[in-house]
Amino acid sequence: MCSNGFDSTNCFRMEELETNLSPFLHKLFKEWDDRKARGLFHHDITTCETKVLPGEHNFVATLIEGRDQKKRPTEFGMNQVLQPFHSEKFNFTKVKPQEVIFRFQETENDSAQYFDGAPPTVSASPSSILINVSPIGYCHVLLVPRVQECLPQRVDQESFLLAMYVAKEARNPFFRVGYNSLGAFATINHLHFQAYYLKVQYPVEKAPTEELTVVGNGVSISQLVQYPVSGFVFEGGASLEDLSQVVSNACIFLQENNRPFNVLISESAKRVFLLLQCYAEKQTSGKASQEFLDMRINPAVWELSGHLVLKRRNDYDEASEATLCSFLVEASLSGPEFQELKRCVLESLASASPE
């Protein structure tokens, strides 16, 4: 138990989870535990040390020694957000059948139905939920829309709405859905989202915000303030579909302009964080500090949101808010860069907004 009352065993163990789970999460947790019992993961996340750091933000740090050496390697350049799909490289049509948890599709009514005993293959359904074999949290899974279509890692309206529906179906604020663009530490160029359960509030979720505008369908757009990462916060709207459309429009604008980004779908799809970064560019241009390169932190959506995975025991033991803040500031856009990009994003959304 940390001094601030955060018990690192609680967030990763099924028996410590809430009893009032939605049918979707109950079944997802059960199936994920089954894959864990079968030894399908590269490490046991339930035994990994986790702590909340003291300070203003209360960053969450998890120690997974050597995780970067066990993960599937990145097989594409980091300088282009949009790249074509290459079937010869690893993609999710090549996963082992036992890594598939769900195959699913939308129905014409509003009720969810679950069928046991379906054949364990990704070929028979347009979308799948798979285990992440290198998890950083309890029930870490991958959502792969229309898997057999072999879509590259790029946001489209339909797929983003699917991710929003999954977050809503969970009905739990501690189960978030995330997205990493290419150039923002997605490691596989096959369209996918990630999700996992962590029973703690992320630092980005409690960061102050400043409202920027409200678009035509009632979606409020704010910016993060007093947080080391630059980004937008979207909420409201007449419907979940309205909110999803505005966020996906912003993502599409960014990817078409080769600007890396990460997305956190929070509070059961009631709030969405769009986070901007340039760390891969700094790495390739030699502008990243050696101290942080040595730590081997890849600032994907979870790290930018405040849950950072550390790979060396010394980094974990000595982790401080000051060090992690400095890293996130380096990964994020500078103030002037964000201001210019903010202007372009808001202009794009205003032109796309219905009157």
Q: Does residue 42 form part of some domain?
A: yes
What digits encode the pLDDT tens for the residues 68-106? 555 556 665 678 998 999 988 999 999 999 999 988 776
Closest CA to 29 of 265, 173, 202, 197: 197
- For CA atoms 36, 42, 47, 53, the dihedral sign is negative
Mean pLDDT calculated for residue range 169-189 = 96
pLDDT at 164 over 60: yes
What digits encode the pLDDT tens for the residues 111-130? 666 666 555 544 445 799 99
Q: Does residue 17 form part of some domain?
A: no
> What is the distance between the alpha carbons of residues 196 and 139, in angstroms, rounded to a whole number?
5
pLDDT at 2 over 80: no
pLDDT at 18 over 90: no
Q: Does residue 7 form part of some domain?
A: no
Mean pLDDT calculated for residue range 191-197 = 98
265 close to 272: Cβ distance less than 8 angstroms: yes
- The rounded mean pLDDT for the chain is 89
CATH number at residue 290: 3.30.428.70
pLDDT (0 to 100) of residue 3: 34
Mean pLDDT calculated for residue range 255-260 = 97
236 close to 48: Cβ distance less than 8 angstroms: no
pLDDT (0 to 100) of residue 306: 98
Mean pLDDT calculated for residue range 32-51 = 95
pLDDT (0 to 100) of residue 343: 98
Q: Does residue 6 form part of some domain?
A: no
pLDDT at 335 over 50: yes
What digits encode the pLDDT tens for the residues 264-305? 999 999 999 999 999 999 999 999 999 999 999 999 999 999
pLDDT (0 to 100) of residue 1: 26
In angstroms, what CA-CA distances link 169 with 16, 101, 175, 213, 323? 21, 16, 10, 28, 36
- Torsion angle, CA of 3/9/10/12, rounded to 10 degrees? 140
> DSSP readout, 97-114?
GGGEEEEE---SSS----
Q: Does residue 10 form part of some domain?
A: no
Instruction: Give yes or no: 57 in active site.
Output: no
What digits encode the pLDDT tens for the residues 197-237? 999 999 999 999 999 999 978 999 999 999 999 999 999 99
pLDDT at 187 over 50: yes
> What is the distance between the alpha carbons of residues 210 and 134, in angstroms, rounded to a whole number?
36
How many domains in the chain? 1
What digits encode the pLDDT tens for the residues 231-257? 999 999 999 999 999 999 999 999 999
Write out the residue range of the structural domain in which residue 212 sits: 32-106+122-352
Annotated active-site residue in 57, 190, 192, 307: 192
pLDDT (0 to 100) of residue 32: 97
Q: Does residue 25 form part of some domain?
A: no
**What's the gap between Cα 90 and its chain centre?**
20
Mean pLDDT calculated for residue range 180-199 = 96
Mean pLDDT calculated for residue range 137-147 = 96
pLDDT (0 to 100) of residue 67: 60
Q: Does residue 116 form part of some domain?
A: no
pLDDT (0 to 100) of residue 114: 61
Q: Does residue 26 form part of some domain?
A: no
